Amino acid sequence: MRSYSLIAPAKINLYLEIIGDRADGFHELAMVLQSISLSDRVTINPIGIDAITIRCNDPTIPSDRTNLAYRAAALMVDQFPDMMARHGGIEIDIHKQIPAAAGLAGGSTDAAAVFVGLDLMWDLGLTQGELQTFAAQIGSDVPFCISGGTALATGRGEVLSPLMNLDHLYVVLAKYKNLAISTPWAYKTYRQQFGHTYVSAPQDLQSRHDRVHSGSMVSAIVKRDGAKIGRLLHNDLEKVALPEYPQIQALRDAFAAQNVLGTMMSGSGPTVFALVANQTEADRVLGAVRGQMADPDLAFWTAQFVPNGIHLA
């Protein structure tokens, strides 16, 4: 048995539309998801005892059964009980670079890496579709994190259609280190304030999905038109997060003043990103906004769009 070291990219949302409620209690969504080069490194090591253990360089991340990477491993042990008996246990070593609770799918991508890593370590030969079916049981973003790149995601986020690769674009990301937004809070508040706009009839749901599939964001992506993608960035959750957290609005305003292609909060936040055309522009915008905000609680990163999800390091 050998170890496998995997790169697990973060994601941002280029588009997030809340369409309605689902019978399973989740929201029906239409999203465009994008992998970026800001990544964790997840190493799967075989160990001599029958156990799943987690090690992480970030002490604020739980290393118990609540870690999404642990939950992914437990699900695989459940599905393939012979494997642990035959090969022993699993140590998962997570080198975190993606900020947690940031709207960047940091936990989901670690879980995705465990599915891919155990498929390799146990030589299961699962298809990507089979891995993604397991992944959907851990979280709505986990199937996307496996395949990555640029994709349209519908359902609760697990029904994926790959889109044209956009690896010529870059982002500047900023997050207040001490600000976390709970994803359940964001969706619950949205339901309270905008539930009356939800679509529920199956034919209406389908026509809303069709509208996104044939809509202007998808056509801008197919044309690799960064300026147009920037103008069309959309996230319904900003409607609840921006009024509640004025500092996120201020960050967004500071990026917008820098003549970027577009700026938006990612997912349920609180990370805000600015879309730019190249690394030089990303460095310029980062320097300008950092200087202007001058807040030690603000962390910044630059990243490039990447065409893949989990891959070998």
Instruction: Report the catalytic residues.
Output: 11, 141
**Enclosing H/E stretch for 27:** strand 27-47
Q: What is the DSSP letter of 195?
A: G
Question: By CB under 6 A, is residue 157 in contact with ligand ATP?
Answer: no
Q: Considering only residues 9, 230, 267, 309, which one is a binding residue for ligand ATP as defined by CB under 6 A?
A: 267
Q: Which two tokens stand for residue 287?
A: 């320097």
To ligand ATP, the closest distance from the beta carbon of 156 in angstroms equals: 12
Closest CA to 95 of 69, 58, 65: 58
| Nearest to ligand ATP of 126, 181 (CB atom) | 181
Compute how many residues bind ligand ATP; rule: CB under 6 A. 21
Q: Considering only residues 183, 189, 247, 249, which one is a binding residue for ligand ATP as defined by CB under 6 A?
A: 183
Which residues, numbered 129-148, are part of the site for ligand ATP (CB under 6 A)? 141
To ligand ATP, the closest distance from the beta carbon of 206 in angstroms equals: 26
| Nearest to ligand ATP of 189, 231 (CB atom) | 189
| Nearest to ligand ATP of 58, 225 (CB atom) | 58
Conformation bin of residue 157: beta by default, left when phi > 0, alpha when psi is -120 to 50 = left
To ligand ATP, the closest distance from the beta carbon of 267 in angstroms equals: 4
Q: Which two tokens stand for residue 165?
A: 């690769």
CA 176, CA 207: separation in Å to the nearest integer?
38
Which residues, numbered 42-81, are part of the site for ligand ATP (CB under 6 A)? 61-62, 66-69
Question: By CB under 6 A, is residue 281 in contact with ligand ATP?
Answer: no
| Nearest to ligand ATP of 69, 242 (CB atom) | 69
CA 8, CA 304: separation in Å to the nearest integer?
14
Question: By CB under 6 A, is residue 35 in contact with ligand ATP?
Answer: no
* Token pair 């900023």 in the structure block, residue: 174
Question: By CB under 6 A, is residue 149 in contact with ligand ATP?
Answer: no
CA 161, CA 176: separation in Å to the nearest integer?
32
Question: By CB under 6 A, is residue 105 in contact with ligand ATP?
Answer: yes
Name the packing angle between helices 128-135 and 106-121 (round to 10°).
Answer: 130
Sign of the alpha-carbon dihedral angle for 177, 112, 21, 206: positive
List Cβ neighbours of 26 (8 Å cut-off, separation of 6 or more).
140, 156
To ligand ATP, the closest distance from the beta carbon of 304 in angstroms equals: 19
Binding site for ligand ATP (CB under 6 A): 61-62, 66-69, 94, 100-108, 110, 141, 183, 267-268
